[in-house]
């Protein structure tokens, strides 16, 4: 009888490992998700989200330019950009919210300058991942 339980246990353990990217816990189905991986963050397996945030912040700082009006004065205001990293790992603008066209265009330019990366994955398949970035000029 003990041998029968042991054999059944082995088969059930093998069946659970065969479902890559999916786990079941207390009647809840969880799919393994992986966020997009910024170039240079490939070796940060445990902290890829932190690395992504750091690289995005660095990108924003390096590409941030204050737009000027026709008189040469800096334009002040805010813009919020909603975008996705698509299945190919490229940024795609979903929505831009802001009162001033020049600021909206500058915010879009900065986001579209994000380098191509490894796309996010769900259950081993590429998926779009949404982000929202506020800009204050």
Q: Is residue 22 part of a domain?
A: no
Q: Is residue 93 part of a domain?
A: yes
What is the residue range of 65's domain? 33-136
Q: Is residue 75 part of a domain?
A: yes
Statement: residue 8 has pLDDT above 50: no
User: Quick one: CA dihedral 114, 116, 117, 122, positive or negative?
Assistant: positive
Q: Is residue 127 part of a domain?
A: yes
Q: Are 47 and 55 in contact (CB under 8 A)?
A: no
Q: Is residue 7 part of a domain?
A: no
d(CA 69, CA 11): 70
Confidence tier at 6 by pLDDT (50, 70, 90): very low
pTM of this structure: 0.74
Q: Is residue 26 part of a domain?
A: no
Q: Is residue 20 part of a domain?
A: no
Please, what is the average pLDDT of the chain?
A: 83
> In Å, how far are 29, 40, 44 from 124, measured between CA atoms?
16, 21, 18
Confidence tier at 96 by pLDDT (50, 70, 90): very high
pLDDT tens-digit readout, 24-57: 445 555 567 889 999 999 887 668 889 999 999 9
Total domains in the fold of the chain: 1
Residue 31 makes CB contacts below 8 A (sequence gap 6+) with: 21, 22, 122, 123
Q: Is residue 88 part of a domain?
A: yes
Statement: residue 3 has pLDDT above 90: no
Q: Are 44 and 36 in contact (CB under 8 A)?
A: no
d(CA 32, CA 59): 28
């Amino acid at each position: 009888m003990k041998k029968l339980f042991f054999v059944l246990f082995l088969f059930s353990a093998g069946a659970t490992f065969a479902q890559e990217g999916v786990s079941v816990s207390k009647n809840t189905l969880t799919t393994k998700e992986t966020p997009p991986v910024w170039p240079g963050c490939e070796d940060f397996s445990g902290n890829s989200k932190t690395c992504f945030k750091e690289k995005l912040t660095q990108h924003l700082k390096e590409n941030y330019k204050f737009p000027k009006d026709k008189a040469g004065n800096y334009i002040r205001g805010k813009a919020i950009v909603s975008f996705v990293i698509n299945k190919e790992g490229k940024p795609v603008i979903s929505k831009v919210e802001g009162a001033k066209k020049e600021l909206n265009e500058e915010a879009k330019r900065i986001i579209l300058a994000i380098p191509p990366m490894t796309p996010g994955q769900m259950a081993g398949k590429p998926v779009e991942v949404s982000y929202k970035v506020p800009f204050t000029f």
